[in-house]
C-alpha cells in the first residue's frame, strides 16, 4: 500500500509540487497578514504606507511608546517613497583639472602591476562605468576603471600614456548597461571621478614669533557621576585665557548640581542649559555638538579660535601651553582622525549604509539605504578639534549650504554620526584643504576586549569601545612625548586611579610626600535629591539594614537612623574599601538630630578547596552583577544583589609558572556552576568550558558565568554558588539577595518618590531566607474602608518589621560596619546643644568629606595644577 502511494505521487509529481507551492504561498500570506495585523493593532494611528522591511516591522514591535512607533513608521514610509534622503550632493572641494565622469580611454593592464591598485570589487550583474565611478568617488579615488565586464577598480594615479590601447581593445559589454563597454581581457576603460588625489594637511610645530596665541574652548561632554575626576581634569586644563563649556547629559542630575557652582567662581566656565540625553551611538550626540557650537558662536560672547571636545574619561598628555603653541602654529586647520581602512569596509562595519532612528533612548535599525552620490564618505573618531570658521559653517543655519543640509539629513539617521559627519563635511567642502588627519588623541583600543557588543541594549548594532588605561599601558602613554598627541582616553578612577596620578606627575611634577588623600577616590552612587535614581532598590535596602544594625550596636553612641542622604563608593590605592552612607540620625541620649556618615565594607565569603592543581590556581571567586566584559570586572562593587537581578559567578585563575608554561598545552576544562537557593535546594545548574592557554594574555585567565537559567524573581536570602570540575568542588561563595525595590517608607518621616512597595517571594521560610507573610488583600465593604485600611496598614507595618529583622540578621554575614563620623555641615558645629561623641568626618581619611585637594579646583595654586595668576 505504501509503495502504491509513492508510485501515485511520482506519477502526479507535477500536481503534487503545485499543491505544495500553493500551501506554502498560503502559509506565507497568512503569516504576512498576521504580522501586518499585529503591527496595526500595536499602533494608535493608521500607517501612511504598508511596512515591508523586516527590520522596520521588528523595530515597531519592540518600541515601547506610541510616539516612538510613529516616528519609526514616518521615516520608513518616506524612505519607501524615495523622498527622505538626497540622491546626490555637491562636492565643492577644488578639483583642479579633474572632470566628473570623463573617459580617458582603454588601457592595457597587468596581473602583477595593476593600473588602479587602490580598491577592487565585482558587480556580476550591474556593473557599468557609472556604477564604478560612483563607488570610487565615494571611496575617495580620482580614477575608476572597468574590466572584463564585471570588475571595478579604483586608484589614485592616472595610467601612463604608454599603455594606452585603441578603444576596440575594450570590447566586453557591461552587464549593467549593454550599450557601454566594460574593458576586456586585461584591458580597462578608465574614467575620472571628478576629484583630485587627497592629501591631509601637514602640521607645523612652532608658530611665527609675532603671532598671537590662539584661544581654545574646551567643550566637555559629560556623563555619569565621576565629579571628582571631572574636577581633576578641569584643574589640569584650567587657564583664565581659555574657555570651558560643559554639557552634562540630561539624565545626570547629580553631576549637573555638583558642577553648577563653578559658574559663580570662574567666569570662563559655563554649563549648557540646553541638555540632551545622548546615548551611545545616538544621533542626539551630533545634535548636541552642533547645538553647543551654535551657542559658542553666537551667544557666549567668547572670542575663541578652536573648539575641542573632551569627555570625563579624557586626560591631558601635555600642558595647555604646549597645546596652545601647537594650535597657534596651525591656525585655521581642522583636526580629525581618519578610520585608516578601506572606505567601503568602513561603511559596512560602521553601519553607514543603514537607516537608524533614535527614540525611547534607543537606536532602531530600519534597513539598508543608499548613500548620496557625488561625495566622498569619510570618518573615524568623534573626538575633534575644529576651527571657528569651520564650526560656523556646519553649526550656523545661515552658513549651511546644500552639502551641509544634505549631510545633516543623512547623519541625523545614522549610528555614531559624530564619527563621520565632520570628516565628510571637510572632505567635500571648501575646507577640504584644512583637513588634518590627527585628532590630537591617543585611544586605548584593545579590540579583543572592547568589541563585546556591550551596547545591544540601546542600539541595534554590535559596537566597540576603547578600554581604560591601566598600569600596564604606561609605556604607550610615555611614548606620546614626542608625538603630536595632547590627550589620551579612556581613564576611569573607579577602575584605576594610579595611572592618572602617574600621568599627572609625569606632566606637572610630583606631589608633596604628605599630600592628603593622594591615593583615595570617592564616587557618589546615590543622592536623595535625584528624582530619577539609577540605584537598585537592593542597595537602599541593604544600606537601611546596615544603619539599623549600626544604630543598635554602635560603640560610640546609640541613635535612631533616619533618612539616607548619599551613598558613596570609597577606594584606596585602587582597592575597593566599601560604601559610605550619609544619613540623618536622632541621638538617643540628647534627642538631637544630626547627620552621620557610616563606612561599611563587603565581606569576602568565598572558600577555595585547594585540593586539585586547578583549585590551587583559583585566586578570585565572587558572585555579583553588572559584569563588564570589556574591563573584566563587576560594576556592582558592593555586591548588593536584587531579586530581579541576574547574578554571575566571576572567577580568576592564576597564570601558570614559567616551568608549567613550557610543559603544558592549551587545555579545555569543563566546569559546572550550581546555584543553591536559601532553602538549600539546587535552583539551577550552568555548564561552561574554559580554555586555558598557558601562554595566553592576562585577561584570558578571567572568567564568568551568568546564572541565566535562574527563575526570577529570586528568593530573598542567603544563596551560594558552587564551582565544580569533573564533580570535584573547586570553591564555593555565599551571596545575599534582597528585594530589588526598596519597601516603602524611609527610616525618617519622609518617603521618596522613587520608592515603591514590592512583595518578596511567597515561598516558605527558612533560616537563611528573608521570609514573607501572606499579604492577600482584603476588599473592604463599602462604607467601612477606613477601619480595614487601618488594619491592613497595621499588618503591613508588622510584616515589614519582620522582614527587616530577618534582613538585619543576615547583613552582618556579608557586610562589616567599620566606622561612623559626624558631618560638620557648612563649617558650623553640628554638636551644638548636645554632646555627640563621634569624630568629625572632615578629620578622617576615609569619609567623603575628607580633604581631597587633588580634585579641588579652588585649592591652593602651590598644591594644585591651576594657575590663577596667568593673564
How far is the C-alpha of 125 from the C-alpha of 176, rounded, in Å?
Answer: 6
**Averaged pLDDT for residues 257-280:** 95
Write down the pLDDT at residue 455.
78
Give the closest residue to 143 by CA, choosing from 109, 112, 174: 109
- The pLDDT tens digits for 367-378 are 999 999 999 999
Write down the pLDDT at residue 419.
96
Q: Provide the terminal-to-terminal Cα distance of the chain, rounded to the nearest Å.
A: 104
What secondary structure letter does DSSP report for 656?
P
More confidently predicted of 277 and 26: 277
Q: Own/partner pairs for 614-619, CB < 8 Å, 24+ apart?
A: 614/653, 614/669, 614/725, 614/730, 615/725, 615/728, 615/730, 615/731, 617/653, 617/654, 617/656, 618/651, 618/652, 618/653, 618/654, 618/723, 618/730, 618/731, 619/652, 619/653, 619/654
Predicted TM-score (pTM) of this structure: 0.88
Tell whether the model's pLDDT for residue 156 goes beyond 70.
Answer: yes
Write down the pLDDT at residue 535.
61
Write down the pLDDT at residue 449.
75
Count Cβ neighbours within 10 Å for each residue of 508-536 and write b for 16 or more, e otherwise: eeebeeeeebbebbbbbbbbbebeebebb
User: Residue 579's Cα: distance from chain center in Å?
Assistant: 25
Confidence of residue 859 (pLDDT cuts 50, 70, 90): low
Write down the pLDDT at residue 788.
43
- The pLDDT tens digits for 329-359 are 999 999 999 998 899 999 999 999 999 999 9
- Collapsed DSSP state (helix, strand, coil) of residue 818: strand
How far is the C-alpha of 521 from the C-alpha of 493, rounded, in Å?
Answer: 7
C-alpha cell at 119: 580598491
**Averaged pLDDT for residues 94-120:** 95
- The pLDDT tens digits for 690-702 are 988 888 888 888 9
Q: β-strands 520-527, 618-624: how paired?
A: unpaired
Cβ-proximal residues to 714 (8 Å cutoff; 6+ apart), any chain = 641, 643, 644, 645, 647, 677, 683, 737, 761
Give me the helices (H) in 312-446, please: 320-329, 343-350, 388-395, 402-411, 421-427
Write down the pLDDT at residue 784.
38
How far is the C-alpha of 729 from the C-alpha of 609, rounded, in Å?
Answer: 7
- The pLDDT tens digits for 31-58 are 554 444 555 556 667 888 999 899 999 9
- The pLDDT tens digits for 557-615 are 888 999 999 999 999 999 999 999 999 999 877 788 999 999 999 999 999 999 998 99
* Residue 20 phi, psi dihedral angles, 5° rounding: -65, -40
Write down the pLDDT at residue 205.
86
- Collapsed DSSP state (helix, strand, coil) of residue 70: helix
Tell whether the model's pLDDT for residue 147 goes beyond 90.
Answer: yes
Write down the pLDDT at residue 836.
63
Q: How many CA atoms lie within 13 A of 601 on its CB side?
A: 13
- Collapsed DSSP state (helix, strand, coil) of residue 329: helix
Count CB atoms within 10 A of the CB of residue 437: 18
Left, alpha or beta for 574 (phi > 0: left; psi -120 to 50: alpha)?
left
- The pLDDT tens digits for 379-405 are 999 999 999 999 999 999 999 999 999
Give the closest residue to 671 by CA, choosing from 721, 728, 625, 621: 728
What residue has cell string 549604509? 353
Span 606-738: which CATH code? Answer: 2.60.40.1930
Distances (CA, A) of 369 to 50, 63, 354, 381: 18, 21, 5, 23
Confidence of residue 314 (pLDDT cuts 50, 70, 90): very high
Distances (CA, A) of 80 to 66, 76, 84, 86, 465: 21, 6, 8, 13, 33
- Collapsed DSSP state (helix, strand, coil) of residue 214: coil
Span 216-489: which CATH code? Answer: 3.90.550
Confidence of residue 786 (pLDDT cuts 50, 70, 90): very low
Percent of the chain residues past pLDDT 70, beyond the cut: 85
What residue has cell string 603544558? 664
More confidently predicted of 775 and 494: 494
DSSP H helix total and E strand total for the chain: 21, 37
Tell whether the model's pLDDT for residue 646 goes beyond 60.
Answer: yes
Give the closest residue to 322 by CA, choosing from 211, 435, 213: 213
Mean pLDDT, rounded, of the chain:
87
Burial group, residue 659, by CB count within 10 angstroms (0-12, 13-18, 19+): exposed
More confidently predicted of 457 and 160: 160
Tell whether the model's pLDDT for residue 522 goes beyond 90.
Answer: yes
Write down the pLDDT at residue 13.
60
Tell whether the model's pLDDT for residue 219 goes beyond 90.
Answer: yes
How far is the C-alpha of 770 from the C-alpha of 764, rounded, in Å?
Answer: 10
More confidently predicted of 759 and 11: 11
More confidently predicted of 178 and 797: 178
Paired strand residues for 676: 682, 720
Count CB atoms within 10 A of the CB of residue 173: 13
Tell whether the model's pLDDT for residue 746 goes beyond 80.
Answer: no
Write down the pLDDT at residue 579.
97
Give the closest residue to 733 by CA, choosing from 793, 649, 616: 649
Distances (CA, A) of 500 to 413, 470, 750: 37, 9, 41
Write down the pLDDT at residue 862.
36
Q: Which helix (H) or strand (E) holds 316?
A: strand 314-316
User: Residue 725's Cα: distance from chain center in Å?
Assistant: 35
Paired strand residues for 147: 151, 188
**What is the Cα Rg of the chain in Å?**
33
Amino acid at each position: 500500500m505504501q509503495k502504491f502511494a509513492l508510485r501515485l505521487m511520482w506519477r502526479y509529481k507535477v500536481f503534487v509540487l503545485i499543491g505544495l507551492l500553493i500551501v506554502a504561498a498560503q502559509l506565507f500570506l497568512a503569516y504576512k497578514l498576521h504580522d501586518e495585523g499585529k503591527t496595526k493593532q500595536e499602533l494608535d494611528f493608521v500607517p501612511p504606507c504598508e511596512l515591508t522591511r523586516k527590520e522596520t516591522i521588528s523595530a515597531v514591535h519592540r518600541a515601547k511608546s506610541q510616539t516612538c512607533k510613529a516616528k519609526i513608521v514616518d521615516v520608513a514610509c518616506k524612505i519607501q517613497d524615495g523622498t527622505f534622503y538626497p540622491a546626490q550632493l555637491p562636492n565643492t572641494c577644488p578639483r583642479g583639472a579633474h572632470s566628473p565622469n570623463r573617459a580617458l580611454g582603454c588601457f592595457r593592464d597587468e596581473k602583477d602591476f595593476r593600473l588602479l591598485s587602490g580598491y577592487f570589487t565585482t558587480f556580476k550583474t550591474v556593473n557599468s562605468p557609472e556604477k564604478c565611478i560612483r563607488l570610487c568617488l565615494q571611496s575617495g579615488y580620482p580614477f575608476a576603471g572597468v574590466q572584463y565586464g564585471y570588475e571595478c577598480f579604483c586608484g589614485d594615479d592616472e595610467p601612463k600614456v604608454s599603455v594606452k590601447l585603441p578603444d576596440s581593445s575594450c570590447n566586453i559589454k557591461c552587464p549593467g548597461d549593454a550599450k557601454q563597454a566594460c574593458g576586456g581581457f586585461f584591458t580597462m576603460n578608465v574614467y575620472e571621478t571628478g576629484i583630485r588625489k587627497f592629501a591631509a594637511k601637514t602640521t607645523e610645530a612652532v608658530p611665527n614669533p609675532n603671532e598671537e596665541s590662539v584661544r581654545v574652548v574646551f567643550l566637555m561632554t559629560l556623563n555619569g557621576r565621576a565629579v571628582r575626576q571631572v574636577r581633576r581634569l578641569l584643574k589640569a586644563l584650567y587657564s583664565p585665557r581659555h574657555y570651558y563649556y560643559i554639557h552634562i547629559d540630561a539624565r545626570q542630575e547629580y553631576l549637573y548640581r555638583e558642577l553648577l557652582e563653578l559658574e559663580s567662581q570662574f567666569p570662563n566656565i559655563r554649563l549648557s542649559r540646553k541638555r540632551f540625553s545622548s546615548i551611545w551611538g545616538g544621533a542626539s550626540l551630533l545634535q548636541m555638538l552642533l547645538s553647543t557650537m551654535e551657542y559658542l558662536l553666537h551667544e557666549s560672547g567668547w572670542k575663541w579660535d578652536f573648539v575641542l571636545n573632551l569627555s570625563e574619561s579624557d586626560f591631558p598628555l601635555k600642558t595647555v601651553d604646549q597645546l596652545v603653541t601647537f594650535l597657534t602654529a596651525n591656525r585655521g586647520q581642522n583636526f580629525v582622525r581618519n578610520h585608516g581602512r578601506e572606505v567601503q569596509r568602513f561603511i559596512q562595519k560602521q553601519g553607514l549604509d543603514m537607516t537608524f532612528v533614535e527614540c525611547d533612548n534607543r537606536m532602531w535599525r530600519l534597513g539598508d539605504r543608499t548613500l548620496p552620490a557625488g561625495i566622498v564618505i569619510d570618518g573615524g573618531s568623534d573626538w575633534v578639534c575644529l576651527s571657528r570658521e569651520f564650526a560656523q559653517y556646519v553649526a550656523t543655519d545661515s552658513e549651511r549650504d546644500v552639502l551641509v543640509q544634505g549631510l545633516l539629513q543623512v547623519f541625523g539617521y545614522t549610528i555614531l554620526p559624530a564619527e563621520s559627519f565632520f570628516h565628510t563635511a571637510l572632505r567635500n567642502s571648501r575646507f577640504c584643504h584644512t583637513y588634518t588627519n590627527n585628532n590630537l588623541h591617543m585611544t586605548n583600543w584593545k579590540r579583543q576586549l572592547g568589541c563585546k557588543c556591550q551596547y545591544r541594549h540601546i542600539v541595534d548594532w554590535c559596537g566597540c569601545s576603547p578600554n581604560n588605561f591601566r598600569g600596564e599601558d604606561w609605556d604607550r602613554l610615555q611614548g606620546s612625548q614626542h608625538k603630536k598627541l595632547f590627550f589620551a582616553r579612556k581613564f576611569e578612577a573607579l577602575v584605576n586611579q594610579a595611572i592618572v596620578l602617574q600621568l599627572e606627575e609625569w606632566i606637572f611634577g610630583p606631589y608633596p610626600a604628605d599630600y592628603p588623600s593622594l591615593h583615595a577616590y570617592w564616587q557618589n552612587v546615590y543622592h536623595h535629591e535625584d528624582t530619577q535614581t539609577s540605584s537598585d532598590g537592593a542597595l537602599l535596602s541593604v544600606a537601611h539594614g546596615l544603619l539599623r544594625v549600626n544604630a543598635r550596636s554602635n560603640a560610640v553612641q546609640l541613635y535612631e537612623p533616619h533618612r539616607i542622604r548619599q551613598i558613596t563608593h570609597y577606594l584606596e590605592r585602587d582597592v575597593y574599601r566599601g560604601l559610605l552612607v550619609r544619613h540623618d540620625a536622632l541621638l538617643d541620649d540628647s534627642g538631637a538630630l544630626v547627620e552621620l556618615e557610616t563606612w561599611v565594607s563587603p565581606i569576602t565569603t568565598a572558600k577555595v578547596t585547594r585540593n586539585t592543581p586547578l583549585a590551587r590556581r583559583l585566586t578570585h571567586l565572587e558572585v555579583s552583577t553588572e559584569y563588564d566584559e570589556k574591563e573584566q570586572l563587576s560594576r556592582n562593587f558592593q555586591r548588593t544583589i536584587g531579586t530581579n537581578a541576574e547574578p554571575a559567578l566571576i572567577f580568576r585563575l592564576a597564570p601558570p609558572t614559567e616551568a608549567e608554561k613550557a610543559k603544558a598545552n592549551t587545555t579545555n576544562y569543563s566546569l559546572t556552576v550550581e546555584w543553591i537557593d536559601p532553602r538549600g535546594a539546587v535552583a539551577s545548574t550552568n555548564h561552561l568550558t574554559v580554555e586555558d592557554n598557558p601562554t595566553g594574555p592576562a585577561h584570558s585567565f578571567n572568567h564568568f558565568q551568568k546564572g541565566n537559567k535562574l527563575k526570577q524573581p529570586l528568593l530573598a536570602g542567603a544563596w551560594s554558588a558552587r564551582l565544580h570540575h569533573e564533580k570535584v568542588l573547586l570553591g564555593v561563595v555565599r551571596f545575599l539577595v534582597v528585594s530589588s525595590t526598596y519597601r516603602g517608607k524611609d527610616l525618617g518621616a519622609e518617603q521618596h518618590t522613587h520608592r515603591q512597595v514590592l512583595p518578596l517571594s511567597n515561598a516558605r521560610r527558612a533560616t537563611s531566607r528573608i521570609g514573607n507573610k501572606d499579604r492577600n488583600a482584603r476588599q473592604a465593604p463599602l462604607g467601612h474602608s477606613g477601619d480595614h485600611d487601618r488594619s491592613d496598614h497595621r499588618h503591613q507595618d508588622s510584616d515589614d518589621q519582620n522582614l527587616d529583622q530577618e534582613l538585619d540578621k543576615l547583613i552582618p554575614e556579608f557586610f562589616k560596619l567599620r566606622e561612623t563620623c559626624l558631618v560638620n555641615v557648612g563649617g558650623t558645629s553640628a554638636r551644638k546643644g548636645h554632646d555627640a561623641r563621634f569624630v568629625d568626618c572632615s578629620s578622617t581619611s576615609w569619609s567623603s568629606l575628607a580633604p581631597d585637594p587633588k580634585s579641588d579646583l579652588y585649592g591652593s595654586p602651590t598644591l594644585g595644577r591651576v594657575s590663577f595668576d596667568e593673564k
